[in-house]
Amino acid sequence: MANKRRMAWGLLVCAGVGMQVSVLAFPVQGEKFLVAETLDGRHTRVGRVTFTPAGLGQATVRVHMDPAVMRDNFLSMREFKCLAAPQEVSCHVPYPYASPATVSAQNLLWLDHHLLFLYKKPADFGAKLWNGIIYRWHLTPTGLEGLPQAVDLNLISAPPDRLDVPPYGPNDSEPFAPDARWIRKMRIE
């Protein structure tokens, strides 16, 4: 029995250390690369994310798409930065309203909102906002990882009632089937 308690305690200590290492190994501050992992196995730097300390363990977030990689597409009377592939075009949708844009290691919802995307077939004209993608971010030992989930971007076609609350909560999106999207995951490293 004593051995089982020691083993359980050791697992708890290791788990606790692992969580601390994840947070400490990847501080949410400074300029980081935004990398798209696509179905063909490529890892493409599509932009940068800048985290600026804002006090109380928070940072503000700014996103910069790389124009050499994310090409201009004029869709539905708006310009989008898109990554094109033969099977799917993925376009960054900048969050259109004022927001605190603050994140912490425990709350990355504003990061989700500042890295919204939509997808379309290469032959389709216009942006179909119901084909939205929200990446749900979590910390890993080497960075942040975002997995794509389906979201209807029509919700943000008008300003939300409160600008200080992210309009898409955890229950406002649905996971895609594995490998359903060309960009199968995003990383910030």
pLDDT tens readout for residues 82-136 = 999 999 999 999 999 999 999 998 899 999 999 999 999 988 877 788 999 999 9
Say how many C-beta atoms besides its own lie within 10 A of residue 174's C-beta. 9
Number of domains within the chain: 1
Higher pLDDT, 43 or 127: 43
Asked if residue 158 belongs to a domain, the reply is: yes
Q: Coil, strand, or helix at residue 155?
A: helix
The pLDDT value recorded for residue 17 is 34
Asked if residue 1 belongs to a domain, the reply is: no
pTM of the model: 0.83
CB 89 within 8 Å of CB 82 = yes
Say how many C-beta atoms besides its own lie within 10 A of residue 189's C-beta. 15
Asked if residue 3 belongs to a domain, the reply is: no
Query: Rounded to an integer, what distance in angstroms lies between the CA atom of residue 87 and that of residue 41?
Result: 15
Q: What is the dihedral of CA 138, 143, 148, 151, to 10 degrees?
A: 60
pLDDT category of residue 76 using cuts at 50, 70 and 90: low
The pLDDT value recorded for residue 78 is 66
CB 79 within 8 Å of CB 72 = yes
Asked if residue 99 belongs to a domain, the reply is: yes
**The pair of three-digit structure tokens given for residue 90, joined into one six-digit string:** 């993925």
Query: Rounded to an integer, what distance in angstroms lies between the CA atom of residue 14 and that of residue 145?
Result: 22
Asked if residue 162 belongs to a domain, the reply is: yes
pLDDT category of residue 141 using cuts at 50, 70 and 90: confident
Place of tokens 């960009």: 183
The pLDDT value recorded for residue 77 is 56
The pLDDT value recorded for residue 20 is 35
* Residue 24 reports pLDDT greater than 50: no
Asked if residue 34 belongs to a domain, the reply is: yes
Asked if residue 15 belongs to a domain, the reply is: no
pLDDT category of residue 25 using cuts at 50, 70 and 90: low
β-pair type (78-84, 58-65): unpaired
Show the domain range for 165. Answer: 27-188
CB 44 within 8 Å of CB 83 = yes
> Containing H/E element for 129?
none
Higher pLDDT, 61 or 124: 61
Asked if residue 77 belongs to a domain, the reply is: yes
